[in-house]
Every structure is written in C-alpha cells, then in structure tokens.
Chain A
Amino acid sequence: MGRFIARRLVQAVPTLFGVLLLTFLLSRLSPSDPVQLMLYGNTEVTSEDREQLRHALGLDQPLPIQFVQWLWQLAHLDFGNSIYYHRPALDLILERIPNSLQISLLALVVTVGIGIPLGVIAALRRGRPEDHAIRIFSVLGHAIPEFWLGLLFVLTFAVQNRWFPIGSMNAVGVDCTLCFDRVWHLVGPVLVISIAGIANLPRILRTEVLEVISQDYVRTARSKGLKENAVVAVHVLRNALIPVVTSFGTILLVFFSGSLIIERVFNWPGLGRLTFEAAVSKDFPVVQGAIIIASVLLILSYILRDIAYAWVDPRIKVR
C-alpha cells in the first residue's frame, strides 16, 4: 500500500504542474495589465512607479523566465498580497478553507449516509413504488440548478418561515464550532450541496447491487442459509462500493465548484465566497491563489479516493 501511495503522489506531480502552467498562462495572456491589476486604488502612481513595479514583478523578462520566477515564489509560499485586504493572499485563503471543508465533509457524510441506503432500497425493491420514487428523485436531483434550490430554501425556510437562519456560520455573539448553533447553520448549505451527490449514488448503487445480487457466489451464500441482510451487507456492498468510491472524485469536484455559489447564497465565509468577491473586485492574487489551492485540494482528494479504491478492491493496486 505504501508503494501505491508513493506512486500516486508521484503521478500527481505532472498534474499539479499542468494546473500551475495553465493558471500562469491565463494571467499573462489576458488583456488586463497585471501592473494595473496590482496598483488598483493608488491615486498618485507615476509612470516611473509602474516601471519599477514591472521590473520588480519581472514582467520585462521573457515568459519562460517569468514562469520559473513565479514558481520559485510559490515554492516559498509567496502568493502575493491581496490588493483589497493588503495581506498575504495565502493567509486569507488558508483562513477560509476550514469553513469550506466543514460543508464539504459534512455533505460527503450526508451523501453517503442517505445515498447508499436509498440505492440499496431501490435495488431490493426493484420495480416497486419505492424504486420508482427513488429513481425519479435521482434524476430530478441531478437536473435541478443548485443555486436555484438554495435561493428557494432561503426564501421558504429562512425568510418566510424562520425555521433556519438565512446564512452565516453562527448567530451573532455565538462563537462555537462543535455545537448546535453551528449545525443549525450548516443544514441549509449542506442539504443543498448534497442533493447532487444524493441523486447520483442510488443510481450507481442500484445497478451494482442488482448485478451482484444475481451472481453465483451470492446465490451460494444464500443457499448456505445465511441471512438475507448479512448476505447483502457483506458481499453486495463490498463489490458495489467500488463505483461508489469512484464517484467520490466527481462528487468532491461538485462540492468545490458548487460551494462558490452556495457560499454566496448562504453568506458562508468560505473559500468559494472569498474567490467570488476577489473576482468581482479584481483582486487577482487572491483569485489566482484560490484556484491553485483549490486544485491542490482536489488533487489530494483524488489521491485519497484512489487509496480508498485500492483498499476496497485490491486488484487495483496492480494497475
């Protein structure tokens, strides 16, 4: 397993490089002048100042050299200073990540916790009303625009009926993480973000469960007299989990992207909202830093998924 992990990590390096390259190219090839982007809000900037900054940023060098310089800066964890906040961009981003992770991780738990049982039920009750209902719910959950659901949630459950808060992580004056207040504030965003995942899992699981259930070794287990539930739990799930774990990758991708809008709708101070606000105020260092960090997190979660995959199906490691 250790070697597998090491190999996966090594395989991630070219991907990371690709992400950095893409981000760098985007910023240098845009019509917006990076110096202009950096000097926002400075009223008495002279052209000498601009030239100085241009030289300091290395913008008068050929592109490949700029890239190397930029990589060198990144290696020293220097992502530049936020133009809006006058603080290192990396600090801002790292502050916000735990907030976003709360939603993502909880959403993952909810997705798995609701999705898997639903999938199993749909399989076991194939053809019956429950199956159809779950499948309809599945497709609906896929097709619904997340932010629309979020807006409707806020409107119905928070403004018109005060059952849930309209947003934020805590009520004003309350400052706790592992408490009821935080959970109450998490319900809205987690629910909305999970819908996509909850919608997808039952479909995959149902197919897998159906496939596995009709296989020989399962029939053998049944004929041996093992209880139905045990059979399902041990044999079926073990095999059915493989594609489930595969879908984790895409689920996490969804969480990251979706969080951008959901955090805005629910006023959640996470990475998504920071990136959006930075984008609106053209705070380029922060936007750039956020993309890189988000990509790094995503790559890491893919690696974790692959490790989980390998653990569930040992044959994978050979690949």
Chain B
Amino acid sequence: MTLAALPPWLMAVIASFIVLNVVIGMVTYVTLLERKFAARMQSRIGPYRVGPHGLLQPIADALKLMMKEDVVPTAADRHVYNLAPIVFLIPCMLIFATIPFAPGLGVADVNIGILFFLAVSAMEIVGLFMAGWGSNNKYALLSAMRAVNQIISYDLPFIFSALVPVLLAGSLKMSDIAAVQQGSLLKWFIFYPVIGQLAFIMFIVSTLAAENRVPFDILEAESELVAGFRVEYSGMKFALIQLGEYAHMIGSSFLGALLFLGAWSGPGPEYLGPLWFLLKAMFVFLFVTWIRWSFVRIRVDQILALSWKALLPATLALLIATAVVVVWRTSAGI
C-alpha cells in the first residue's frame, strides 16, 4: 500500500499527528536551548546536572508539571478558567498546519496559507483574556487588559510586515513564497535591497510584541505582576499555556524563516531541505532571544505609542513602497 493510496483524510490525520508530536517535542527542547543560550550570555552555565549538560532537563520539567497539584482558586470562574488554556493552545498549534516543511511536506498547504496563519495566530488573545478574567485576580486582570491592548496593536504591523514577502512573491500560498526564494542565496527576501531588510526588522519587532517577549513583555512583567495572566495556573494547565506560548514562538520563527530566509533552500541534496529550514527557524528564534535578553522593558503606554505612532505607519509605508517597486519591476521587465 503506497502512501498515495491512503484516503486523503487519513493522510491528513497521520500528518497532523506527526506534526503535533514533533512540535511538542521541539517546544520542550527549545526551552532548554533558550535557557542555555541566555545563560551563556550572562556568564553562567544553564541547566547542567540533569542528564549530560542538562539534556534531560525538559523531560524533568515536563514530569514535574504533570505531577503537580492542580490548584483552582475558589472564586474563579470555573468554566472560563478551565477552558482558557485549551483555547489558548489550539490556535498556537493550528498555525503549524499550513507551514510546508519541504516541497509537498506539510499538513495542509492551502492557497491562503499566510492569511490562515496570521488570522489564527491572532486568536490566542481570546484564550489569554479568558485566563486573565477567569482567575478572579487583580494582577491577572490587569495583565489580561494590557495583553489585549498590546497584541491587538501589534497584530497589524505583524500582518503588514508579513505581507511584504507576499507582495514580492505574488502569492498567499506558503510553498509558492518559498519556491520563489529557491536557487541562490541572493534570492532570499531578506537580501532584497532595502525593502527586505526593513521588512525583516519590522517583522522581528512585531513578533517580539505579539509574543510578549521583552522589551514588550509588560503583560507578564515578573517584577510587577508576577506571571501576569498565568499567575493562578499550576500543573498541567500551566504546562499547556507554556506549550502554547513557545509553540507560537516557534511558529513565528518558522514563518520568518519561510518568508525571509528562503525556507528549505540550502546547499546539499534535496532531502536536507527540512534541516535547513529548521536551522533557519532556530536562527530567527535565537535572534529574538538575543534581543530579549539584552533590553529592559518599556511601559504599556509607550508600547502602544510605539505601535500606533511608529510601527504601523512605517509598515504601511513599506507595504505601499513594496507594491510600487513590484509594479515597476514587472512593467520594466526586470
């Protein structure tokens, strides 16, 4: 029985099962990568004792979270509180559906891939607010209100900066965008003169903000609102929220690698494509992490001002400029 003989729905189920498991496995080890990277930047060693050089640390963390007592505050809104981690997690996992890991190797490489990704990734805000509201805790509520403000403000620049490669490639389908960048290093959109670099920088900044990473992590702000909207969660529910956050983070890294860094293009034979894709996504992730561990955070009103007064006009202008350049190039034939 060849793969092509399986009914399409079964193939989709198998593919999504594999992708989900791989994503969960990657999320746990990406936390270790971040911890070791951050530690080295701070003149210390990260996890070291659990397993050789800390390689079993994520497993230990996962086991610990699974074994923890599930504490639910008495006055919490039970249904909202219990549903919130799931509602938060689902969009963060769903975004992996449209990413093609190699030509033809993806769960659902739809024609509107980018649109689906951007729309679904913005839905995590619902779960976030549910968590903050259902906890019946002033700190959580404050954090949830800040989160709504921030994520909504930064989704627009995120979308606009992600649309620049769409314009350059001329298609919303993810594999098309990746296909245009194949061939040589200079075809990667990040090397597109001026527009590519600007778009990449704005993409990174918007990702940081949509991800609640420092310098835009006012909503978790450990030193003010300890853990923000997650403060009342423990055990497996907390693990789901963590999973969702890091999955979104990795998803955005994969998107960045696909849009700007040429996805699976790289030296060597074709089957190494997904490996290059992974390495590029990790590079984007580490870049974001590097920024995270270098700056202090800014206040929520400053974050919003930065978005509405600076980033949104800039991305809009960039998008219009890209459109002009694309039209001029097609008409001039270059």
A binds B: no
